Structure 1
Amino acid sequence: MLSTVKVLFLAFFDICRLIKRPQDIPESKDLLTLCVVVYGSLSILLESLSLPLEKAILAGVLEVALIMIFSLAVLQIRGKSSRWTQTVTALVGTGIIISIIAFPVYILIGVGELGEFESNSGQSIGLLLLVALACWNIAIMAHILRHALEVNFMLAVILAITYIWIIFSFTSAIMPMETH
């Protein structure tokens, strides 16, 4: 079991390094389900750093649902819906890795801490790391979409940014930011 987890982790990490493609991941509904559950749980954990638990759960579930819907929509438009399982597995599998890396960065910048936001060197470094992580995540998503949809990288980057905008828009519409 441990060797299987290691092989899968390395495969997802190779996608994060833009080496492997989504079609290099086994087409498995069980693997998809496992990855969706783990990714959703990590999303909820990260969201719970800055949101009440019920809102964090809603945001995590919404994000997973939108990944699945967005992927199906763009794959169907390109006539490649048979690639949905591997595409979503690759997106959430790499999302697991990004989430694991993001967790300590969120802690470093003080996400969810009460009181005044005091800028310090740790937070500045953390914010730079968060920006780098966001750019890397866009590149990973674009890499996956480029191969799944058979489009050029620039179009895939535009689709990845569009996906992130959709997530932000839906989340903001359902859970508006509180102003003080």
Structure 2
Amino acid sequence: MFLDICFFKKGPRDVPASSLLLGLAVLAYLIVGVVLLGLERDWSGAVVEAVVEALMLFGFLYMALYLSQGIPRLQQTATALYACDALISTAAVPLLAWLLVTPEAKGVYIFLTLLMLWHLAVIGHILRHALAISFFFGLGLAFGYVVVSYQVMMVLFGQTM
């Protein structure tokens, strides 16, 4: 189901409203986030950063759904966002590890950029369905969220994500 969302075949409405599924999606998000952040940082710092990222994502989603009067869709949308992020970010783990070993592997940067653009498109797709807005507005919200969250993480932790 989450792969279908990542390939734009389904939306968050197709995700069952389940606290257990949301919890598993958040857990997957946190594990992948800690692994990614832990590639270049200490593990305890990676855990703190991953938790802050997860809370920021939930806060952003809650605010967006609140403003669009879509709070009843919060659980399904949050599950879709966390799970799809975990799936796409999992693909980044070997690429980032490869860069740590071979920083001059320029082709990896192309794949990472494409992965990042796909991730933005998936977030935009999920937001489009959850907020009943156009894909391009959803994409703009996704981009705005990524830029703001990056800046917040820089202020809080003083390094790039």
Pairwise mapping of residues 20-35 of structure 1 onto structure 2 (< 5 A)?
Answer: 20-35=10-25
Instruction: Report the secondary structure of 2:141's partner residue.
Output: helix
**Residues 37, 124 of structure 1: CA spacing in aligned structure 2 closer, same or farther, 3 A cutoff?**
same
| Whole-angstrom CA distance in 1 between matches of 2:91 and 2:136 | 26
> Partner residue of 1:77?
67
The structural deviation recorded for 1:130 is: 0.2
Identical amino acids, percent of aligned pairs: 29
Query: Can you give the 5+ residue segments of structure 2 that lack an aligned partner in the other structure?
Result: none
How far apart, CA to CA, are the structure 2 residues paired with 1:151 and 1:17? 19
- Matches for 1:17-166 after TM superposition, within 5 Å: 17-110=7-100, 118-119=103-104, 123-166=105-148
Aligned residues: 160
Which of structures 1 and 2 has the bigger CA Rg? Answer: 1
Residues 37, 46 of structure 2: 8 Å contact kept: yes
2-side partners of 1:118 and 1:136: how far apart?
23
Shift of the alpha carbon at 1:54?
2.1
Runs of 4+ in 1 over 4 A off after TM superposition: none
C-alpha deviation, 1:17, in angstroms: 0.3
Q: What is the alpha-carbon root mean square deviation over aligned residues?
A: 1.4
Provide TM-score, normalisation by structure 2.
0.95
